[in-house]
Amino acid sequence: MDKEKSIVVQYHFVRNMHETPYPGIKGRLVDDFIGQVGYLCRYHQPLWMRDFIRYFAGECDLPKNGFYLTFDDGIRDHYETVLPVLERHGLEAAFFPILEPLVHGRVSSVDKFRFLTYLLDFDIIYDEFFETLTGLFPDSDVSRWKFNEQKGAGRRWTQFDPPKLGHLKIVANREMPLKMRDAALDALFSKHFGPDADFIQELYVTWEEIIELYSAGMVIGGHTVTHPWLPRLSSEEQAAEIYASLLLLEEKLNTKIKLFSYPYGGYNEDTLRLLRHRECDLAFTSKAGIICYRDKPLEIDRLDTNDLPLSTHTEPNGWSQEVGTKICTLYPGGQDDI
């Protein structure tokens, strides 16, 4: 068969946001994550990375009703909160850390943007962002990137973004020179949150924790160093980001890294060529889907955690029904009805 169906879920933050200093961050509450894992274990059977590798190598079909969990960006939640849940259920998952905080001591721009826009008054931050750009780069016309109600209303980064935020994400990640964007984000982040070093200790996994995840049987993959929108980079720039992330992980884990997750889900033909050259087995997008095409191992789609129910006993939703379900009363780990 040239295609199979499976549920691959993408996560970022898994924490009780209301119990942290940053209640406005977007993420999955811990009980909801546990409920979603229970839901998946109830109606689907867990997959292992070896299942995908063998399938794409043409050695077998994917097991029916399968699911797999992935975690992007190297958030500390993945080690402190997610790993114990996975171990309790006997599950394997894949983790794709951003390496910039570990190798350059800088909070990644993707997270600076997240914390500035989600935790503070967005309209105020929006104005401060452009005021900062103007101050830092007085010879540039930054007004060309500002939101226009008529022209920008349809420009959304994700389906969950309001128009003005979605527009800003697009211009910041795809259109504005990265040097300008990063300089403005650095200035604003320092003003509102303080030094990067303090934030890094709280927000990201350490090298030691990445090693522990790997030692616990989890799969580790590349996610670039600085989390750029890859299609905007030249082939040489993409190679530097992709290869550096893979080599750094290989040095720390003493194993070949052949798995990749596209930052923001973005890739182009150059990206695919570079991953093939590096002999990567699999790569994951952020496009919502459940079809695994055997001839596209570097374009595996994923569902967002928001696409699936959050309670063990919820009836199967549309995605589950499309993949197929089979009720399991005995959960992985040997505990009934967790």
Per-residue pLDDT at 151 = 63
- Low-confidence stretches of the chain (pLDDT < 50) are 332-338
Per-residue pLDDT at 326 = 78
- Class of domain 3-98+205-323 as given by CATH: alpha beta
Q: Which long-range contacts (CB under 8 A, 24 or more apart) does 267-272 make?
A: 267/230, 267/231, 267/298, 267/299, 268/230, 268/231, 270/234, 270/235, 270/238, 271/230, 271/231, 271/238, 271/242, 272/298, 272/299
What are the tens digits of pLDDT across the range 277-336? 999 999 999 999 999 999 999 999 999 999 999 999 899 999 999 999 877 655 543 333
Per-residue pLDDT at 176 = 95
Per-residue pLDDT at 154 = 58
Q: How many CB atoms are located within 10 Å of the residue 147 CB?
A: 17
Compute φ and ψ for 21, nearest 5 degrees.
Answer: -70, -5
Per-residue pLDDT at 58 = 94
Q: Where in the chain is the domain with CATH 3.20.20.370?
A: 3-98+205-323
Per-residue pLDDT at 149 = 74
Per-residue pLDDT at 338 = 30
